[in-house]
Amino acid sequence: MNSCKIGNRNFLYILFIYFVIAIWILISVPFTPQEADVLYNQHNFLATYLVKFISFFSKNFIILRTPFFIISTFSLYLFNEILKKYFKDSQYRYLTLSIYILIPGVFLSFVIVNYATITIFLTILFIYAYLKENKLIQTIALVLLLFTNTAQFALYLALIIYSFRKKDWLLTSVSTTLFILTSVIESYPIDGIPKGHLISLFGIYGVTLSPLLFIITIYALYKVALKGNQELIWHIAITVFIASVLLSIRQKIKVIDFTPYIVIAVPIVVEVFRNSISTRLKQFRLFYIKVCMLIFIVLLLETLFIIFNYPIYKYTGEQLYIIDRNIYEIDNNVEKMKQKGINCLKSIKKQDLNLYKYYDITVCQ
């Protein structure tokens, strides 16, 4: 990496190692409670029914995870195509892609069944179709997002504002219609009383996006708001973030419903960094380069923590939990129960019911 840029060869090395590790995690880490919730709950209609359809043929966790890995890979390809509009210098494009794939939430979208994978894919697909001026794919992506039961209402609101400013009346009409539909079908509940969940919100954002990257992202969005290119991705990211903050004043929200629309803001962060570097003399660029390097290092360390979490537990017994506190114990318990021919328990904690159900373990009658 030179001046916080990544060349083509280095990026290919990063990408190769990344995919090897992702596939290793995909086939080695036991099925998680979150994945079982996707399978048996219907919070995200598209994700649940995709997994249910696959489970009709096989409940093997590797097979269940594979479509999400493929979808995430295709999202990465589309994201790379989108970035060609942002950066003529391919080294900045590769830097952006490297930061993006190292975001903890994005990495997990490659290796486990989760709600965010489909939401990220449809959002990136819409942006790609918009840049290509493909109205049909734009509309299909937006309509499908209606069935993800995430914070798509905030996305539609962002598109209403953006398309109105750009005088794109077709997009305004489609976005307005879908925004009204989300209100009618109440796809995202808005209730509760003011309690102040902002600290929790920022904490989860920090874990999902990485603390330093989250702070820099908010700074970049703010800087563009003051003076910058307020294009499509900026409108989506800033509107969704503000919506999450406003809702958190009144209720505890599921941050995973909002993060898919914010992780796509990475090119804005890199663009602000690039502009800051280019407008300063060489001797004043060191601070920005150090910040860029620090973001990359922190993301790499967090990814390594996820990667080695299960092997450390498996071979040393140390419980460095990152996905769920009970993920490894339940898998071990089920294996011991099946060896003894036991297929039910006297009682099961509510949060563990779906995972035990996946293993065909029920409550004894």
Whether residues 256 and 358 share a domain: the answer is no
Return the DSSP state at 32.
Answer: P
% residues pLDDT > 70 (the chain): 90
Question: Based on the domain organization, do 228 and 334 belong to the same domain?
Answer: no
| pLDDT, position 190 | 63
- Contacts by 70-75 with C-beta closer than 8 Å and gap 24+? 71/117, 71/118, 71/121, 72/106, 72/109, 72/110, 72/117, 72/120, 72/121, 73/19, 73/110, 74/121, 75/117, 75/120, 75/121, 75/124, 75/125
State residue 312's pLDDT score.
73
- Pick the closest to residue 352 from 26, 36, 30 (CA basis): 36
- Is residue 258 scored above 80 in pLDDT? yes
Query: Could you say which of 278, 294, 316 is where a domain stops?
Result: 316
| Per-residue pLDDT, 2 | 46
Domain end: 281, 297, 316, which one? 316
Q: Are residues 33 and 148 in the same domain?
A: yes
Indicate if 287 and 340 belong to the same structural domain: no
Same domain for 334 and 301: no
3-state secondary structure at position 329: helix
Is 244 inside a domain boundary? yes
The rounded distance, in Å, linking the Cα atoms of 13 and 222 is 34
Both 190 and 72 in one domain: the answer is yes
**Once rounded to an integer, what is the mean pLDDT over residues 181-186?**
78
- Position 250 in a domain: yes
210, part of any domain: yes
DSSP, res 188: S
What pLDDT score was predicted for residue 121? 96
Q: Give a yes or no: residue 223 inside a domain.
A: yes
Q: Specify the pLDDT at position 333.
A: 82
**One domain, residues 259 and 337:** no
- Helix (H) and strand (E) counts in the chain: 17, 2
pLDDT at 169 over 60: yes
Domain count, the chain: 2
Q: Are residues 352 and 301 in the same domain?
A: no
283 pLDDT tier (thresholds 50, 70, 90): low
CB 130 within 8 A of CB 140: no
Q: Is residue 321 part of a domain?
A: no
Look at residue 67 in the predicted model and tell me its pLDDT: 95
- DSSP per-residue string spanning 249-281: HHS---GGGTGGGTGGGHHHHHHHHHHHHHTS-
Q: What is the pLDDT of residue 231?
A: 92
Give the pLDDT confidence score for residue 88 in this predicted structure.
85
pLDDT at residue 20 greater than cutoff 80:
yes
Residue 358 is part of which domain span? 327-363
222, 265 Cβ separation under 8 angstroms: no
Specify whether 79 is located in the same domain as 204: yes
Average pLDDT over residues 149-171: 92
Within a domain: residue 44? yes
One domain for residues 222 and 342: no
Q: Does 108 share its domain with 130?
A: yes
Question: What is the structure's pLDDT at 275?
Answer: 83
Tell me if 1 is assigned to some domain: no
86-133 pLDDT per residue, tens: 888 889 999 999 999 999 889 999 999 998 999 999 999 999 999 999
Q: What is the model's pLDDT at position 206?
A: 86
Distance CA 248, CA 205 (A): 12
What is residue 198's predicted lDDT score, i.e. its pLDDT? 73
The answer to whether residues 296 and 249 belong to one domain is yes
Coil vs helix vs strand at 363: strand
Query: Of 250, 253, 222, 226, nearest to 238 (Cα)?
Result: 222
Do 265 and 220 meet the contact criterion of CB atoms below 8 Å apart? yes
| Of 208, 218, 200, 213, nearest in space to 114 by CA | 208
Whether residue 322 is contained in a domain is answered as: no
Helix (H, G, I), strand (E, B) or coil at 345: strand
